[in-house]
Amino acid sequence: MLNYILGEKISITSPKPQTTRNRILGIRNDNNSQMIFIDTPGIHRGDKKLNKFMQKIAHTAKEDADILVLMIEADNNRDKSIHELDAEIIKGLSPSNTPVILLINKIDQISKPDLLPLIERAQTLFNFTTIIPISATTGSGIDVFLSESYKLLPKSPPFFPEDSITDASERFIAGETIREKIFGMARQEIPYSVAVVVEEFKEDENKGILVIRATIYAEKESQKKILVGKGGEFIKRVGTLARKDLEGFFEIKIFLDLRVKLLKDWTKNEESLKRLGYR
């Protein structure tokens, strides 16, 4: 949804849950306003240090928000009722003066008769400011969401220059793009045991290329072997896909060098999390 609103891909996507790990800020400028969106990790269960970090990011991001937006997925609620975890999250919302919008995403994947009971059930769980069905893929309902949000936001000078779309560093975007390709290609626990650190990011003006060197960390030796692949096939494929996206984003030819290293049980270790940028 954030990528659709901004017209640029700054937030990685994947069919797998818990893809987003950090707070990602997106800035939308038009003739009348500047709207700042803060994308956070999804609220989920998990006892690892990494999971707890993600939960803290999600909960603390709302402290400075003028509007809270909770998104649930229609195709997770096909039995015409609210999914157990979605209901738990909604019930955990505290009444406050901050408007709360509920977005029901992926409406392109269910029929209208299945959607109405979801809206009715959500209304019984919390007094939402408004409930808006959307499809982040087709863009259906996004204009309604933007219009309703515009009405609720306070007047203020712009926080960012008009040509800004995010406060994320170029290194961060590069690392996230690499991680997205691993999420898309790897199975089971591999994506959740991977972290990417961009060690070098510089432009070679003589050659007219951008040089990016990154290390992919796995927490088990068996995972490291899978990430490298037979004859280096897996890591080469990741590099090819990531380089294509990054060249489109940065609009320059890219030399991408990827290495895979072992950092044992990093998702469970506080110091390792900090070392890998999860602060």
Quote the DSSP letter at residue 22: S
pTM confidence score: 0.77
Judge whether 27 and 36 are in contact, CB under 8 Å.
yes
Q: How does the average pLDDT of the chain come out, rounded?
A: 87
**What architecture is domain 170-275?**
2-Layer Sandwich (3.30)
Q: How far apart are CA 213 and CA 200, in angstroms?
A: 5
How many angstroms separate the Cα of 33 from the Cα of each of 38, 76, 123, 161, 245? 16, 34, 30, 12, 29
| Cα-Cα end-to-end distance for the chain | 25
Using the predicted structure, report yes or no on whether residue 61 has a pLDDT greater than 70. no
| Domain-wise residue ranges, the chain | 2-152, 170-275
Q: Which residues contact 226 (CB under 8 A, 6 or more apart)?
A: 186, 190, 234
CATH homologous superfamily for 2-152?
P-loop containing nucleotide triphosphate hydrolases (3.40.50.300)
How many angstroms separate the Cα of 25 from the Cα of each of 76, 117, 253? 26, 33, 26
Tell me which of 48 and 135 has the higher pLDDT.
Answer: 135
pLDDT class of 253 with cuts at 50, 70, 90: very high
Residue 10 confidence (pLDDT) = 82
Using the predicted structure, report yes or no on whether residue 43 has a pLDDT greater than 80. no
Reference 36, options 156, 172, 175, 176; nearest CA is 156
Q: Which residues of 44-62 are buried (b: 16+ CB within 10 A; e: fewer)?
A: eeeebbbbebbbebbeebb
Q: How far apart are CA 54 and CA 61, in angstroms?
A: 11
Q: For 97-139, where are the E strands, in sequence order?
A: 100-105, 130-133
